[in-house]
Amino acid sequence: MNVMMLLEMANSAFPDRIAFTNGATGETLSYSQLFSKAGTRAREIRASDSNRFVKLDVSSLVTPLSLFASGWAGIPYVPLNYRLTDEEIMRLIERVKPATLVTSEDRINSFQNLEGLEVLDSSDLLSHGGEDESLENDWDMDPEEIAVLLFTSGTTGEPKAAMLRHKHLVSYILGSVEFASADEKEASLVCVPPYHIAGIAAILSSVYSGRHVVQLPNFSAEEWIRLVRKHQVTNAMVVPTMLKRIVECLEETGATNAEMPHLASLAYGGGKMPLPVIEKAMALFPDTDFSNAYGLTETSSTISVLGPEDHRDAVASSDELVRRRLVSVGRALPGVEIQIRDDEGEEVAPNTRGEIYVRGEQVSGEYEGRGSVVDSDGWFPTRDAGSLDEDGFLFLEGRADDVIVRGGENLSPGEIEDVLMTHEAVSDVAVIGIADEQWGESVAAVIVLKPSLQVSEADFQSFVRERMRSSRVPEKIEFWTELPYNETGKLLRRVVREKLG
Amino acid sequence: MPTLKTGARLKSAVCDGEIMVVAAPSGDVDLTCGGEPMIDASSGESAGGDIHPDHAVGIAMGKRYINEAETLEVLCVKAGDGGLAADGALLLQKDTKKLPKTD
C-alpha cells in the first residue's frame, strides 16, 4: 500500500481534470501534472541523502506535491507548523535530519549551511521538470512504511511525532471515500493548515474522489466567502472559530441568506461548536448539508461523523435527547469502534462520562521514539473525555486532563460551559480548575460578555446554582474581552489557566 | 500457491485487470482472475490466453472485492474483463457506505 496508488488511480481515470488550485495565486495542477511532477521530485529525493522530506510553508500546490513525492520516494513527509518560533522549528528539524527542507524564499536564509539539511525554494520545486518524462511506478507497496510524521501540538513538554503509516492513511481513504465519486464540477475549499491531519486527509480524499481542491492559504472570512463564490465551491470544511467568523461577516452585511446555493456540504470539526453558531449557520445556509467530524492526528483524521440527516433530525425533534445530538460529534465511521472507559479501564454504561477509546485499521497511536500506546487488543486511548448515548452518538467533554477534581468529585468543564453559554449575555466562556486549599481544585470561569451587556459575578453564580449541583458553581469569575484559541479553533486552556494565575 | 501479503499488487494473466491486496487470511489462497492464477504486477509477463466464461464478470477500478468469509479483501486498481475468485469461489463486490463528505 502507498498513498501514491491513490494518485495513480486518479491519474489513469481523469488525467486532465484540475486537481488543485491555489486560491491565492490562481495557479493550478491537473492530476497528470501532479503525478509526473511527483515522480520527478521522487527521483531527486532518492538521489539525495535525505531520510525525511520536510515542508515549512503555507498551503500551495507544493503541499500535495510534497506529500506524494515523499510517498513515491519512500521517505516520510513532515509538514511543520510555520507559526512556531524559529527556535522551536530548529529543534524539530534537528529531530528529523538528515532531511530535505522545502520552504518559502524569505525563510531560506535561516536554514542555510546546516549539516544534514538540504534546503529548497518552494517555487523551484513546482516550476521545473515533470513533463514528458517516462516514469516507472516504482514506489514501495510495503504497508508498514511511514507516510507522514506529524508533530502534535504538545501542551506539555516537547511535541510528539505521530507516525502515520501508508496502511493507516490508505485504510482511512478506502473505508470512507468512493473512488471517482465526485463530479467534474465539484470543488472543495480547503482552509485547514497543511501541517494538520485534516489538511492531509483533505488532499487524499479529494484526489481519490476526483474532486477539485481550491486552497485558501491564509484564512479570513472575507476571502473564504469570495473563493466559495468565485469557484462555485460545493464542499468545504472549517473549524468552529472559522464558522463563527463567516457567520459574523455575513451578518455584518445584513445578509439573512448566504446565497451560496452551490455549497452542498459544509463540514466542521476540530473543536467544540457553540450551539448558537451552528444554529445561525444552518439558517444562513438553508441549501447546505452540515456535517460535524471528530478525529485525531493519531487516528488518521475522522473517526466519527454527525451527518446532515442527524442535524435535521435533531433540529426537528421535540425530544430533548435527540435535540442535544446537534452538539454531538455523531457516530463512529464504518470499521471504527468507539468505547468509553472509566479510570480503571472498564467500559462504562451509556450516558456516562469517561475517556474515549478507539480501534480500527486507520488508528496509528504510535509516536517516533516512544512506541505505540495502543493496547494488545488494538484500542487507542485518545485522552479526550466524552460519553456515548444509547444510539452510539458521541459527546465530547474536553481533554481527560481538563477534568476538575473538586473534593474527590470529577467535574466536566464542558458541562458547566454549556450551561453558562445558555445565558443571554454570554458570548464565549471557558471553565477551568484552579488550585484550592480546601478542595484541591475549585471551579473558575472566564466569561466574554456580548457587547454592551453587564451581568455581575453573583448573578452568574446564581444562574448556575439554579441549574446544576452547587459543587459546579464557579467560585471565581473573570470577565475578558476574548479567549485564547489556536489556529484550528481549540481553546488554549493552559493559557487561560496561566493568565488566571 | 503462496500466501497473500497485504499491500501486494497482482495482475491478471488473461486481461488488463490489476489489484492490490487490502486484507488477506493467513495460509495459502489460490487467487485467480478470469480463471487463471494472478501474477506479480512487477513481473514482465503480459496478458495472454482466454478468460474462462465462468470468470468473466469483469472488475472495475476503485471497487473492493471480498470473499464470503470476508477474510480476503482486494482493491481493483486497473479495470479488466476477468472476474476474481479465491480457491474457486467468485469474490463479491463490497459496498462503500455513502458517507457525508467531511474532509
A70 and A172 share a domain?
A: yes
Supply the pLDDT for residue B103: 72
Phi and psi at residue A159, to the nearest 5°:
-60, 145
Question: pLDDT grade, residue B77 (50/70/90)?
Answer: very high
Residues A3-44 pLDDT 10s? 999 999 999 999 999 999 999 999 999 999 999 999 999 999
Say which amino acid occupies B65. Answer: Y
**How far does the CA of residue B34 sit from the closest CA of chain A (Å)?**
22
No. of H helices and E strands in chain B? 0, 10
Match 454549556 to its residue by C-alpha cell: A418
Residues A337-368 pLDDT 10s? 999 999 888 999 999 989 999 999 999 999 99
Q: In 3D, which of B55, B61, B64 has the Cα closest to residue B84?
A: B55
Does residue A236 belong to any structural domain of this protein?
A: no
Residue of A174, A243, A300, A362 for testing the chain B interface, max B β-carbons within 10 Å: A174
Q: Which of B8, B62, B103 has its CB closest to that of A9?
A: B62
| B5 pLDDT above the threshold of 80 | yes
Distance CA A79, CA A195 (A): 5
Residues A433-482 pLDDT 10s? 998 888 888 999 999 999 888 899 999 999 999 998 888 999 999 999 99
A75 and A117 share a domain?
A: yes
Max CA separation in chain A (angstroms): 74
Residues A272-316 pLDDT 10s? 777 788 889 999 999 999 999 999 999 999 999 999 999 989 988
Does residue A277 belong to any structural domain of this protein?
A: no
A409 and A466 share a domain?
A: yes
A170 and A188 share a domain?
A: yes
A396 and A408 share a domain?
A: no
Residue A419's alpha-carbon distances to A331, A445, A466, A470, A490, in angstroms, are 24, 12, 10, 13, 19
Does residue A291 belong to any structural domain of this protein?
A: no
Supply the pLDDT for residue A87: 87
A475 and A492 share a domain?
A: yes
Q: Which of B6, B7, B102 has its CB closest to that of A305?
A: B102
Average of per-residue pLDDT across A364-393:
93
A471 and A371 share a domain?
A: no
Does residue A35 belong to any structural domain of this protein?
A: yes
Phi and psi at residue A371, to the nearest 5°:
80, -165
Distance CA B85, CA A179 (A): 22
A388 and A491 share a domain?
A: no
**How far does the CA of residue A197 sit from the closest CA of chain B (Å)?**
10
Question: pLDDT grade, residue B99 (50/70/90)?
Answer: confident
A392 and A409 share a domain?
A: no
Question: How far from each other are the two terminal CA atoms of chain A, in whole angstroms?
Answer: 50
Q: Do B61 and A12 touch (CB under 8 A)?
A: yes
- The residues near A326 (Cβ < 8 Å, ≥ 6 apart) are A275, A278, A279, A306, A311, A314, A315
ipTM of the complex: 0.91
Supply the pLDDT for residue A152: 84
Does residue A492 belong to any structural domain of this protein?
A: yes
A343 and A470 share a domain?
A: no
Does residue A255 belong to any structural domain of this protein?
A: no
All three cell numbers of A255, joined, read 445578509
Answer with the one of A198, A218, A238 that is the final residue of a domain. Answer: A218
A62 and A158 share a domain?
A: yes
CATH number at residue A375: 2.30.38.10
Contact B53, B18 (CB under 8 A): no
Supply the pLDDT for residue A129: 63
Percent of all residues in chain B with a pLDDT value above 90, rounded to a whole number: 64
Distance CA A185, CA A212 (A): 8
Distance CA A278, CA A282 (A): 6
Contact B23, B66 (CB under 8 A): no
Question: pLDDT grade, residue A403 (50/70/90)?
Answer: confident
Does residue A29 belong to any structural domain of this protein?
A: yes
Distance CA A278, CA A240 (A): 9
Residues A67-109 pLDDT 10s? 999 999 999 999 999 988 888 899 999 999 999 999 999 999 9
Q: Which of B62, B75, B103 has its CB closest to that of A267?
A: B103
Number of structural domains, chain A? 3
Answer with the one of A218, A240, A264 that is the final residue of a domain. Answer: A218
Supply the pLDDT for residue A83: 87
A392 and A468 share a domain?
A: no
Long-range contacts of B51-60 (CB under 8 A, 24+ apart): B51/B14, B51/B15, B51/B81, B51/B82, B55/B82, B55/B83, B55/B85, B55/B90, B56/B81, B56/B82, B56/B83, B57/B83, B57/B90, B58/B17, B58/B82, B58/B83, B59/B17, B59/B19, B59/B33, B59/B83, B59/B84
CATH number at residue A214: 3.40.50.12780
Answer with the one of A218, A252, A286 that is the final residue of a domain. Answer: A218
Task: Please provide the average confidence, as pLDDT, over all residues in chain A.
Answer: 91
Does residue A239 belong to any structural domain of this protein?
A: no
CB contacts of B97 in chain A (<8 Å) are 334
CATH number at residue A452: 3.30.300.30
Domain with A61, as residue range(s), is 3-218
Q: Do A176 and B99 touch (CB under 8 A)?
A: yes
Q: Do A141 and B8 touch (CB under 8 A)?
A: yes
Question: pLDDT grade, residue B72 (50/70/90)?
Answer: very high
**How far does the CA of residue B53 sit from the closest CA of chain A (Å)?**
27
